Chains A and B, each alone.
Chain A
Amino acid sequence: MTRVLLVEDEPHIIESLSFLLSRAGYDVDHVDNGAVAFESISANPPDVLVLDAMLPGMNGFDLLRRIRAQEALAKLPVLMLTAKGQKKDREVANAIGADMFMIKPFNNSELVDAVGQLAP
């Protein structure tokens, strides 16, 4: 089963996405802290990473930079979520290696479709 890791600190979003992705057939896990997420990903890489930009511990952009700096995680599929729809955030996300980028508030089915496109 494809394993999806949600790195998100808003509990209601975690509940919604866990429900939707589980219902779509994914094995869903979640972490609410950027620094903890890096340890978790390094130890046990998921098949798809859904990553929020604003996180305690380490923000999503810095976490993604550290992920891409590791050879083993260089091709890990990453969908970035951010509440800021600014052009600069999208440019930064693209530049540091996000595969897809979505702005909150997102559409449920579009998000599930995006994870489906990224899944191996």
Chain B
Amino acid sequence: MRDRVSTQVLANGAIRYAVYDETGAFLRYEYMLPADEPTEPGTPLNKATLLSDETAAALGLTEESNTSSTVDRAIDTLRSFLFSGKTVFRVHAKLQNGNPAPGMTISGLKSMVDNSAAVTDANGDAVGYSETNPATFGLAASYVDLSAPAVTVTGTPGGITGATLTINFVNFKSFTASTSNVQFSPFCTRVDVSLCGGGGGSGGSGYCTMRNDSFKGGNGGKGGNNGEYGSSGTKGTTQYNDDGSGYARGGDGGKGGRGGVNIVENVTFTANTNYNVTVGSGGSGGTAGGISNAGNGYGGGDSSFLGVSGGSTSSNKIYSSFTELKTVLNGGGTKTGGIDYFYNDNYDNTVVFGETGNPGGSGEVAIRMYH
């Protein structure tokens, strides 16, 4: 399509018109401009408003065929597409507050122009076709702050079938394992991050006999994110009673320290950007005491997200919901030493072997999201 290009135009925009008499004889030129002082100038009739080059190209009406790239041909192209056997849908994506959701890529809906995934426009609408009928639509991106139950619609071949996708805001999310590709939608306005490190493992429990109670249980491991230090393991104990009975008790493995905690509000993030959530693991329990001291518990790992890491033991609470907090106590509990009782006849057979310590609990990353 082409715009008219005049050569006889005054500086004020007035265009030259020719005046003729009834015999067709030329009389004079006159220059004219509308002077009706409209309250609304209206949409001008030109290439940009009728059929732009971009729209023409998208419909396959190329520059070479530009003279014939008329609105009529564009409509005819769309009409032939509608009747090409594909079922066309108009999916309206709306937020839970009723506002349209622009810029959302709709899964199950393909652009009629280039077969790419269809994206909603400023009105929250996306028009395209589905390769299946009935068709199921949802959000293509898995935003952590949005949820949109998929909708299934049966389309009418040759026509356009409407469907509405309702998008709900999610304002809380907890991660108990490291997760990649976490994205926030353009509707998320603020993110608060709370996290805790993995708990330290407890020390293994100790070995002990009636003749040797010198071996110790292992010490507890330290919690991640600057968490607590574990407690010390204890030495084995023996006891002889007057009646000839007694017992050997292995030393306890010290309990693991809980993970440190950190809360940072209103962290910096960018919508439609992939982030990784790292969740620290709980430390393994220390090795069991053989004829030696038991092993110390292992340290818990560090959690981090959106640049928030570190932590301290000044608090032990992280988010459990958008409004609530919960207490973190994830260090491996004390590994109690075993006990073996004896009577005179089995004094030398009284042996307690240690056991592997308890692992610490995993860390956690819990976030609050605002819209």
Q: Do A and B form a real pair?
A: no
Residues of chain A having any CB pair with chain B under 8 Å: none
Interface residues of B, Cβ cutoff 8 Å to A = none
